[in-house]
Structure 1
Amino acid sequence: MELTKKAFKAYDVRGVVPTEVNAEMAYRVGRVFAAMFAAEKVVVGHDIRLSGRELVDALTEGLRHGGSDVIDIGQCGTEMIYFATAHLDADGGIMVTASHNPAEYNGMKLVRRGARPISADTGLMEIADMVVDSKDFPHVKVPGKTEGAVRRYDIMPEYIEHLLGYIDIKALKPLKIVANPGNGGAGPVLNELAKYLPFEFIKINEIPDGTFPNGVPNPLLVPNREATAKLVREYQADLGVAWDGDFDRCFLFDEKAEFIEGYYIVGLLAEVFLRKQPGAKIMYDPRLTWNTQEVVDAAGGVAVRCKSGHAFMKECMRANEVLYGGEMSAHHYFKDFSYCDSGMIPWLLVAELLCTSGKTLSELVEARMEKFPCSGEINRKVEDSAAVLAAIEAEYAPGGQVDKLDGLSIDYAEWRFNVRVSNTEPVMRLNVETRGDKKLLAEKTAELLELIGGEEA
């Protein structure tokens, strides 16, 4: 099979099967991983994509031939690999997944001991070089080891126990919750959690199905939201939850069936954690900032800003001993979850808050949404992103506060924006927010989009 570095991205491996990602590549990744990290024990698993099992089998053979013992947890979510790697004291973990990419894609997310991510800055490009270019590849092996062994392991019971540890089950009340796994991997976890919770779940698309009969599960896409919203309205539910395919992100709908941007959930969860641990550090990304900064300051916490992307966020959390961190893209990170992101912990915490506060979700977030309205992330396919960024800076930098921690951010007194080039897709991403001025928000968003040009992504 053809070998190419095209699928090796900033944070993970992701590409089209079989031209960019295939069994030969997976085998070689396993072999190199074993040697590079002297990995005596590695956890592997895969999402619901049809190519997942073949890639895991090849990956496993590579790890074994490189001298690693393999713990195969089967079909799972990305966060279950993170959990298992730390919980089972493994030297690393590899999740075969392409997250929310189209059905023809697959890939891998790699972590070291303690579920520390392996990114372009911490070894992923070196792995790519050895996988594709190294003439010495066949001789790579864990020192002193021959072949490793393989065992299947059911991590679900321990994982469920850990998730339930974030909430007080006795404080929960009967809620009606619409749950939409989108035919991704969240369904089996939801079914296990439901055994311990007093909630009534109205489920849709709960059966994992790698053919994606209802489209690729990505609730960030506006057309994908209506299926969940419709059921919230129909059943007059208290909460709607939808997940992406590997369920490391969850997306929430209030009792009015309104989609709640991840930005406002970051602020809400920041308040939850700061009530439990006053003075703690809360991390956020530079794309949308004003609401999170104000919430954290008001609650007596310390706001820590970090470049977006799970590898950067996790490194920042560890370096600063951050209790909780969130990205407006609905990635939520928890110190007690090995500083990793989870798509299950956030909705459990929000459900608990609904029960203990006696408030609806709209009551909990509407004031913040009014105070700091935002555009939501808008994606555009652009031919020359560098030229577009330069044009935007030339147009808007005068009179504004420029920041380049992550793409280009420019703040004015009453509005601000961030525009950046995606690390995982050939698109530019725009976010705009204002201080309570929806008219200004619409004007500036339209203005920027006209300058960006390109096609809707």
Structure 2
Amino acid sequence: MKPITCFKAYDLRGKLEEQLDNDVAYRVGRAFGQYLEAKKIVVGCDARSSSEPLKKALIEGLLDSGTDVVDIGQTGTEEVYFATSFLDCCGGIEVTASHNPIDYNGMKFVRENSKPISLDSGLKDIKEMAEQEKWPSDKERGSLSEQSVLDDYVTHLLGYIDHQKLSPMKIVVDSGNGVSGHVIDAIEERFQKTNVPIEFVKINHEPDSTFPNGIPNPMIEDNRTMTIQAVIDSGADIGIAWDGDFDRCFFYDEQGTFLDGYYIVGLLSEAFLAKSTESAVIFDPRTYWNTLDIAATAGGEAVMSKCGHSFIKEKMREIDAVYGGEMSAHHYFRDFYYCDSGMIPWLLIIELLSQKKQAFSTVLTDRIEKFPSSGEINFKVNDPDQIIQTILDHEYHEEYSLNELDGIDLIFKEWRFNLRKSNTEPVIRLNMEARGDQDLLEAKLKMIVDLIKQ
């Protein structure tokens, strides 16, 4: 048996040559096709220099498993999600390391109907098959074809908005030298043909495997400088940036201020509930008072789910929710096969801004003041469980309720916090919010941080 060490809970990620190479990619492809007994699989890849060779090895494995392969080229992860269902395939694989360091790569998987596949729902079996290499000898080799789904994908994206009602707007788009640029170009072409008054200011637009401006990850503060400056210099109404495979998008207002993903979840919930109050939206347990308030005002339902795409997608399918959002900038849509998309959110946001006829900063000011939040604060610790127990044992001198759906969620009358441990590293993650009182938030945040550090 040849062990493979780069399988994670929901995907595959590893250091090149040490954990992931062409041999591993071949074996994963062979096992994926064999496990699903797949007739046809969609494959795509991001812009990293290692992605194309890994994709070719993956395809060879799929073909040898007897699976036909549709190669959709250099694409974002959500294009694989789209193509899997649109082309009625048995599954899809995107070769990508998203925002991981340059010497890493990986794969993201879905099965039929773009359903997630995790260790609990097949990934563990695929791993074991790839390690054991017990391949049947009677398989007829599959066939390979190349196909673009870009035009149909863009048509689907634009179906979420009435683009004829969009107000004149200037938008900075920062692809981070990842793979989102070709989709922006296709949307821009559609807008121009129908005289939609949207002007794009493009930076870091072309794919570049060397990532000359750093790995595309707007969660890192230093990576935001170019987007902020472009918004200010161009006088844009909004700035948008993506990670490497563009399944997450990040927003900046007209002043160049980076906007917390928590409040974007609230805005998108508002957008969907405004169209149908009978629909439900999903939120994660880290911060949620703002989303609950918006749903209550709209007369809709908001339901909590554990963090993580497989949990969110499962809960959405269970209650047929129209939208699900995580503060980490993952946004999921029922009509996008319950998958996450980094393109649909910004289209909905510019439609909402057009309807409100307000500056982006103004739209969010009231929500931020009403429910100030800390953002996520991470602590590297030796014993996460012991620290969480210490926080639970502390005497708070206030009544609170406890929710343990995902980590610990202590809910006081005027403030609350969520503390959860990472599944992959000795880290605990703290999120806190308050009801309209920034000073209270800061005081309680200091108290909890001090407890953790002690």
* Alpha-carbon separation, structure 2, partners of 1:343 and 1:414: 33
- 2:451 is matched with 451
**Structure 2 residue identity aligned to 1:121:** D
Q: Find the aligned partners of 1:63 and 1:290 in 2 and give their Cα distance.
A: 46
Give the aligned residue type for 2:445. T
Counterpart position of 1:172: 166
- One-letter code aligned to 2:278: G
Q: Distance in 2 between matches of 1:261 and 1:80?
A: 26
CA distance in 2 between counterparts of 1:423 and 1:57 reads 31
Query: Partner of 1:243 in structure 2?
Result: 242
One-letter amino acid of the structure 2 residue matched with residue 169 of structure 1: H
8 A Cα contact 1:283 1:304, kept in partner = yes
Where structure 2 has 5 or more consecutive residues not aligned to the other structure, the ranges are: 192-196
Deviation at 1:36, TM superposition (A): 1.1
Q: 1:10 — aligned with what? A: 9
Q: Aligned partners of 1:140 and 1:360: how far apart in 2?
A: 61
Structure 1 residues 16 and 453: CA distance shift in structure 2, 3 A: farther
Instruction: Give the corresponding residue for 2:295.
Output: 296
Q: Which residue of 2 aligns with 1:436?
A: 436
Partner of 1:273: 272
**What is the Cα deviation at residue 33 of structure 1?**
1.0
Aligned 8 A contact 1:177 1:241 in 2: yes
- 1:60-75 pair list within 5 angstroms: 60-75=59-74
Q: 1:426 to 1:125 in 2, by over 3 A?
A: farther
Shift of 1:428: 2.4
Partner of 2:402: 402
Determine if contact 2:384/2:426 at 8 Å carries over to the other structure.
no
Unaligned runs of 5+ in 1: none
CA deviation profile, 1:2-23 (whole Å, cap 9, x unmatched): 9544321112111111211221
1:403-449: per-residue Cα shift (whole Å, max 9, x none)? 22112211111111112223355532221111111122222323333
- Residue 145 of structure 1 and its aligned partner are, at CA, apart by 4.5
Q: 1:367 to 1:196 in 2, by over 3 A?
A: same
SS in 1 for 2:263: helix
Instruction: Determine helix, strand or coil for the equivalent of 1:32.
Output: helix
Amino acid at match of 2:418: N
Q: Distance in 2 between matches of 1:258 and 1:412?
A: 30
CA 251–306 in structure 1, closer or farther in 2 if over 3 Å, else same: same
User: Which one is further off, 100-109 or 418-427?
Assistant: 418-427
Question: Do 1:10 and 1:424's aligned partners in 2 also have CA atoms closer than 8 Å?
Answer: no
Residues 396 and 99 (structure 1 numbering): CA distance in 2 closer, same or farther, change over 3 Å?
A: farther
Q: Aligned partners of 2:292 and 2:124: how far apart in 1?
A: 35
Alignment of 1:318-329 (within 5 A): 318-329=317-328
Deviation at 1:397, TM superposition (A): 7.7
Structure 1 stretch 423-432 or stretch 413-422: which is displaced more?
A: 423-432
* CA displacement 1:352-373 (0-9 Å, x = unmatched): 1122221111222111110101
Q: Are positions 1:55 and 2:51 aligned together?
A: no
The 1:124/1:452 distance shift into structure 2, 3 A limit, reads: farther
Cα deviations by residue, 1:95-152 (Å, 9 ceiling, x for unpaired): 11122111111111110000001112211122222222x2xx23248xx841101111
1:30-429 equivalent positions in 2, closer than 5 A: 30-132=29-131, 134=132, 137-140=133-136, 145-197=139-191, 198-395=197-394, 399-423=399-423, 426-429=426-429
Cα 1:152–1:375 change in 2 (3 A) is: same
Tell me: CA distance 1:442–1:288, structure 2 relative to 1, closer, same or farther (3 Å): same
The one-letter amino acid of 1:164's match is L
State the one-letter code of the partner of 1:239.
I
SS of 2:109's equivalent?
strand
State the alpha-carbon separation in 1 of the partners of residues 39 and 343 from structure 2.
30
Deviation at 1:450, TM superposition (A): 3.3
Normalization by structure 2: what TM-score? 0.95
Q: Which amino acid in the other structure matches residue 139 of structure 1?
A: W
Give a deviation string over 1:223-252, Cα, whole Å, max 9, x none: 222221122122221001011111001111
Q: 1:25 to 1:314 in 2, by over 3 A?
A: same
- Partners of 2:327 and 2:130 in 1: CA distance: 34
| Pair 256,146 (structure 1): closer, same or farther in 2 beyond 3 Å | same
Task: Report how far residue 50 of structure 1 moved.
Answer: 1.4
User: 2:64–2:139: 8 Å Cα contact kept in structure 1?
Assistant: no
SS in 2 for 1:10: coil
Kindly state the Cα deviation for residue 396 of structure 1 after the two structures are TM-superposed: 6.4
Distance 1:288 1:396, change over 3 A: farther
Write the letter of the residue equivalent to 1:177: I
* Residue pair 2:383, 2:426 contacting (<8 A) in 1 also: no
2:194 aligned partner = none
Rounded Cα–Cα distance in structure 1 between residues aligned with 2:244 and 2:379: 23
CA distance in 2, matches of 1:313, 1:223: 30
Aligned residues with identical type, % of pairs: 50
3-state SS of 2:430 partner? strand
Cα 1:376/1:96, change in 2 over 3 Å: same
Q: Distance in 2 between matches of 1:372 and 1:410?
A: 16
Checking the alignment, whether the CA contact within 8 Å between 2:4 and 2:24 is kept in structure 1 is no
Quote the Cα distance in structure 2 between the aligned partners of 1:296 and 1:435.
Answer: 16
Structure-2 separation of matches of 1:247 and 1:228: 16
Residue type at the aligned position of 1:78:
T
* 1:45-97 C-alpha deviation (Å, 9 max, x unpaired): 11111110111111111111111000011111010010000100000001111
CA root-mean-square deviation: 1.8
Cα gap change, 1:79/1:168 in structure 2, threshold over 3 Å: closer, same or farther?
A: same
User: What is the aligned length?
Assistant: 448
Deviates more, 1:250-259 or 1:391-400: 391-400
Q: Distance in 2 between matches of 1:37 and 1:77?
A: 23
- Is the partner of 1:328 in helix, strand or coil? coil
Amino acid at match of 2:452: I
Structure 1 stretch displaced more, 279-288 or 219-228: 219-228
- For residue 110 of structure 2, give the secondary structure of its aligned residue in structure 1: strand
Q: Which deviates more, 381-390 or 158-167? A: 381-390
**Distance verdict in 2 for CA 1:406–1:53, change over 3 Å:** same
Alpha-carbon distance in 2 for matches of 1:396, 1:208: 53
Check the 8 A contact 1:4/1:20 in 2, yes or no.
no
